[in-house]
Amino acid sequence: MKKKLMGLLLVLAIGFGQQARADEGMWPLFLISQLQDSMQARGLKLTAEDIYSINKACIKDAVVRLMNKQNRMFCTGEIISQEGLFLTNHHCGYGAIQELSTNEDNILSNGFWAKSHAEERPANFNIGLLSKIEDVTSMIIDSLPTGDDESARSKAAAAMVKSVAAKLKEALGDDKDMYVIEVVPFWSGNRYMAMYYQVFTDIRLVGTPPENIGKFGGETDNWEWPRHTCDISIFRIYAGANNKPAKFDKENKPYAPKYFFPINIQGPQEKSYAMILGYPGRTQRSTFSEGIKFYSETERPMRVKVRRDILDIYESYMHKDPKIKLMYADKYAGLSNYWKKFMGEASALKKLNIYDRRKAEENKFAAWVKNTNNAKYADVINNYNEAYASVAKVGMFGVYLQDGISNSQPMNFAMAAAALEPLMMDKTKKDEVKKAAAEMAADLDKDFKEFYDPIEQKVLASVLMHLVEDLDNASLPKSLTDLAAKHNKDYNAMADAMWKKSVFVSQEKMAKFLKSPSLKKLQKDPIYAVANGYLTEVTKKMQPQMMKLNGQLGKANRLYQAGVLEMSPNALNNPDANGTMRMTYGRVLPYSGKDATFFKEFTTSRGVIEKYTPGDVEFDAPARLIDMMKKKDFGQYADKDGELHICFLTDNDITGGNSGSPVINGNGELIGTAFDGNWEAIASDFAFEPEFQRTICVDIRYSLFILDKFGGASHLLKEMKIIR
Whole-number Å distance between alpha carbons of 398 and 381: 24
Q: What is the DSSP letter of 282?
A: B
Alpha carbon distances (Å) from 363 to 288, 289, 387, 554, 590: 12, 11, 18, 20, 35
Residue 675 · residue 91 · CB < 8 Å: yes
Whole-number Å distance between alpha carbons of 417 and 408: 14
Closest by alpha carbon to 30, among 46, 59, 51, 44? 51
Residue 680 · residue 594 · CB < 8 Å: yes
Tell me, yes or no, if 659 is annotated catalytic: yes
Other CB atoms within 10 A of residue 458 CB: 20
The residue from 23, 81, 90, 91 that is catalytic is 91
Residue 662 · residue 79 · CB < 8 Å: no
In 592-666, the DSSP E strands lie at 602-604, 645-650, 662-664
Q: What angle, 0 to 180 degrees and rounded to 10, lies between the N-to-C axes of helices 300-318 and 380-403?
A: 20
Alpha carbon distances (Å) from 90 to 77, 205, 555, 648: 11, 11, 40, 17
> What values do phi and psi take at 177, rounded to 5?
-75, -10
> What values do phi and psi take at 197, rounded to 5?
-115, 125
What is the torsional sign of CA 580, 586, 590, 595?
negative
List 182's β-bridge partners, or say none: 195
DSSP 510-573: HHHHHHS--HHHHHH-HHHHHHHHHHHIIIIISHHHHHHHHHHHHHHHHHHHHHHHHHSTTS--
Q: How far separated are the first and last CA of the chain, in Å rounded?
A: 50
The residue from 131, 154, 296, 659 that is catalytic is 659
Whole-number Å distance between alpha carbons of 366 and 359: 10
Whole-number Å distance between alpha carbons of 710 and 706: 5
Contacts of 599 (CB under 8 A, 6+ apart): 225, 226, 590, 591, 592, 593, 649
List 278's β-bridge partners, or say none: 582
The residue from 61, 202, 221, 231 that is catalytic is 231
Whole-number Å distance between alpha carbons of 303 and 395: 12
What letters, b where the CB count within 10 A reaches 16 and e where it falls short, cover 620-642?
A: bbbeebbebbeeeebeebbbeee
How deeply is 537 buried, as exposed, middle or buried, from its count of CB atoms within 10 A (0-12, 13-18, 19+)?
Answer: middle
Q: What is the DSSP letter of 208?
A: E
> What values do phi and psi take at 237, rounded to 5?
-90, 130
Number of residues assigned to the chain:
724
Q: What angle, 0 to 180 degrees and rounded to 10, lies between the N-to-C axes of helices 453-470 and 300-318?
A: 160
> What values do phi and psi take at 616, rounded to 5?
-70, 145
What is the torsional sign of CA 584, 586, 588, 593?
negative
Whole-number Å distance between alpha carbons of 546 and 539: 9
How deeply is 454 buried, as exposed, middle or buried, from its count of CB atoms within 10 A (0-12, 13-18, 19+)?
Answer: exposed
3 state SS for 313-353:
HHHHHHCCCHHHHHHHHHHHHHHHHHHHHHHHHHHHHHHCC
3 state SS for 462-495:
HHHHHHHHHCCHHHCCHHHHHHHHHCCCCHHHHH
What letters, b where the CB count within 10 A reaches 16 and e where it falls short, cover 193-206?
A: bbbbbbbbbbbbbb
Tell me, yes or no, if 101 is annotated catalytic: no
- Residues catalogued as catalytic: 91, 231, 659
